[in-house]
Amino acid sequence: MQNKHKHPPLSSDVIIGMIDTGIWPESPSFNDDGIGEIPSRWKGVCMEGYDFKKSNCNRKLIGARYYDSIQRTYSNNKTHMAKPDDSPRDFDGHGTHTTSIAAGAKVANVSYHDLAGGTARGGSPSSRIAIYKACTLDGCSGSTILKAIDDAIKDGVDIISISIGMSSLFQSDYLNDPIAIGSFHAQQMNIMVVCSGGNDGPDLYTIVNSAPWIFTVAASNIDRDFQSTVLLGNGKTFQGSAISFSNFNRSRNYPLAFGEDVAAKFTPISEARNCYPGSLDTQKVAGKIVVCTDDDLNIPRQIKKLVVEDARAKGLILVSEDETVVPLDSGTFPFAEVGNLSGLQIIKYINGTKKPTATILPTRDVPRYRPAPTVAYFSSRGPGQYTENILKPDIMAPGVAILAAVIPEKEAGSVPVGNKPTGYAIKSGTSMACPHVTGAAAFIKSFHHGWSTSMIKSALMTTATIYDNTGKPLQNSSHHFANPHEVGVGEINPLQALNPGLVFETTTEDYLQFLCYYGYSEKNIRSMSKTNFNCPRISIDRLISNINYPSISISNLDRHKPAQTIKRTVTNVGCPNATYISRVHAPVGLEVKVFPKKIVFIEGLTRVSFKVLFYGKEASSGYNFGSVTWFDGRHSVLLSFAVNVE
């Protein structure tokens, strides 16, 4: 929505619609101190439920809706049996967590039982929030999500945040995916939709919510770690990952055993070492700290922890390389997760010692952790299943061990003895990364109210960070350099995005052409978009690469054919008189040429087109990654590319 004010708009003019599990309105993260009157353009409602009153809304939380099993919003005079679904109130904690990440108010002296202490604030703490409880105890129905998006559009939100996604195994194509359809309608009304990319990584082709009009977010770690020290009887120590409120200390050790050495009768060794349900002998385990491996990822670590706990063990040391970056909240049960090298040394100590012992010390937080950000192992990877001619995910944001508001009695682990629920907890997932981008987009919109959704998206993408806090290129969870199918264009850098210099504007026409190129019929496209759009005469899949997107992807560059030419148009949003010079960063063998190499803007000329030519004759087979950067001495405008050479 265009802002007619002559003065810069307040960030509180920006309204974020959260489609999730509801909200816990009493959390201090949603207080409205210092926020002015609700914008007059707001058309939403604050629905009452059996445990939610109109007074639960305020100048911060300005709207709340919930839905029944046949996807209608409840009328307030309807009488029915009260159940958790009959209210905008959060039943799970997920919606409260994501909402406070996006736009939580500033709250001092927050911690999770003295871990991660400090001031909590959302990405855009003065933005308004409206809640659409589309998820119930039965899950998140597609038709309900579509209705919630429709309501958010009519209510007048500026940005929609959806930390929900279908499993990558059960994805639907664009015109059969409720989130994609609803998001297209939102985009037509200049409303940005930000979605989580899924937690099915690290396998390729697992990214979800990957339509080009959706801002798709991957998850990274942050520069804070949570470590639990494992202290062996021989004095050696190992740093493990955990959120554990163990009451153990250095003064007492406990017997230590490897899972395969305490197996139940007739149990395969491989199952016992992985701590399968039913695989351990309770009599052998009782009173010991048990070491389990993570060779079989079919058994989640939460289950392994329960298996060991039920067998009356004193604690669990889990050996797992990938998951150590993402701390498990084990509550008061002593727990530590160590990498393979540490695990081998611990097992070697067990095998070479008559009476091995150990203890697991309570977790402490480690600030200024390096390297960060890195890609979370669970973060879903590209390329997209339905087209590889759009680069997905788009961008990466913090999604590992994020402290934010929750339902007080729904904190993840058991509360340490003598402590009360804090109302804040630490969670991980692309669900947490998504609202970081939502908050960043709201922050930018508050400064540039007249910018379209694609301008804001482009600003965040072309200014993203591609280096970690050690100054090296971003890494993935396997400690290799990350590629754009893992990080998108890089990690969000909201302050830099306020002044991007140039932006790539992607229009509704671009997206309609995308649907034509993908292969949908004109009739279906018109029906979904409610337009009389005509498809271009030539509509083939490879032309998708040419829509004016802030990154480039080519699914099939034939090394035996001439160069493939990609066209892009940039809009100058910086100084009216500016000259940009292009720089190419490409892998050896892939020839990339930019024409023209220099683009000049003068007063009255704000849009300029350029071409990027890709020659694959000498390139390595498979995906080649790189970038074109436009630089004017002040702004660096990054255009990342992924090119599959065959």
Indicate whether 118 and 245 sit together in one domain.
no
Q: Give, in order, the Cα–Cα distances in Å from 194 to each of 124, 176, 506.
A: 15, 19, 15
Distance of CA 459 to the CA centre of its chain: 18
Q: Which of 13, 86, 94, 246 is catalytic?
A: 94
Picking from 445, 246, 264, the residue whose alpha carbon sits closest to that of residue 329 is 246
3-state secondary structure at position 474 = coil
- How many domains does the structure of the chain reveal? 3
How far is it, in rounded angstroms, from Cα 330 to Cα 176?
A: 39
Give the domain-ending residue among 335, 366, 397: 366
Across 47-75, average pLDDT: 82
pLDDT attached to residue 594: 98
| CATH number of domain containing 338 | 3.50.30.30
Indicate whether 340 and 385 sit together in one domain.
no
The domain of 250 spans 225-366
How far is it, in rounded angstroms, from Cα 283 to Cα 311?
A: 8
Picking from 116, 121, 122, 119, the residue whose alpha carbon sits closest to that of residue 108 is 119
Of the pLDDT bands very low, low, confident and very high (cuts 50, 70, 90), residue 83 is low
> pTM for the whole thing?
0.94
Give the domain-ending residue among 343, 366, 389: 366
Indicate whether 587 and 441 sit together in one domain.
no
| CATH number of domain containing 628 | 2.60.40.2310
Indicate whether 273 and 173 sit together in one domain.
no
How far is it, in rounded angstroms, from Cα 169 to Cα 385?
A: 10
Indicate whether 455 and 584 sit together in one domain.
no
Q: Which of 11, 12, 13, 20 is catalytic?
A: 20
Decide if 20 is catalytic.
yes
Indicate whether 388 and 425 sit together in one domain.
yes
State how beta strands 61-66 and 128-133 pair: parallel
Backbone angles phi, psi at 361, to 5 degrees: -85, 155
Indicate whether 186 and 232 sit together in one domain.
no
What tens digit of pLDDT does each residue of 526-567 get? 999 999 999 999 999 999 999 999 999 999 999 999 999 999
Q: Evaluate the omega torsion of the peptide bond into residue 435 and state whether it is cis, within 30 degrees of 0.
A: no
Is residue 254 assigned to a domain?
Answer: yes
Indicate whether 196 and 61 sit together in one domain.
yes
Is residue 468 assigned to a domain?
Answer: no
The residue type found at 496 is Q
Indicate whether 102 and 188 sit together in one domain.
yes
Give the domain-ending residue among 366, 385, 412: 366
Across 219-237, average pLDDT: 96
What tens digit of pLDDT does each residue of 573-628 get? 999 999 999 999 999 999 999 999 999 999 999 999 999 999 999 999 999 999 99
Backbone angles phi, psi at 339, to 5 degrees: -75, 175
Decide if 225 is catalytic.
no
| CATH number of domain containing 397 | 3.40.50.200
Tokens 């978009």 locate to 529
Q: What angle do CA 331, 476, 222 make, to 5 degrees?
A: 50
Taking every pair of Cα atoms in the chain, the longest distance, rounded to a whole number of angstroms, is 82
Is residue 73 assigned to a domain?
Answer: no
Is residue 153 assigned to a domain?
Answer: yes
What tens digit of pLDDT does each residue of 68-80 get? 754 444 333 333 4
Is residue 540 assigned to a domain?
Answer: no
Decide if 295 is catalytic.
no
Token readout for 524 is: 């279906």
Q: Which of 431, 454, 545, 555 is catalytic?
A: 431
How far is it, in rounded angstroms, from Cα 353 to Cα 356?
A: 5
Across 233-247, average pLDDT: 95
Residue 232 has pLDDT above 50, yes or no: yes
Across 248-276, average pLDDT: 94
Indicate whether 158 and 189 sit together in one domain.
yes
Of the pLDDT bands very low, low, confident and very high (cuts 50, 70, 90), residue 298 is confident
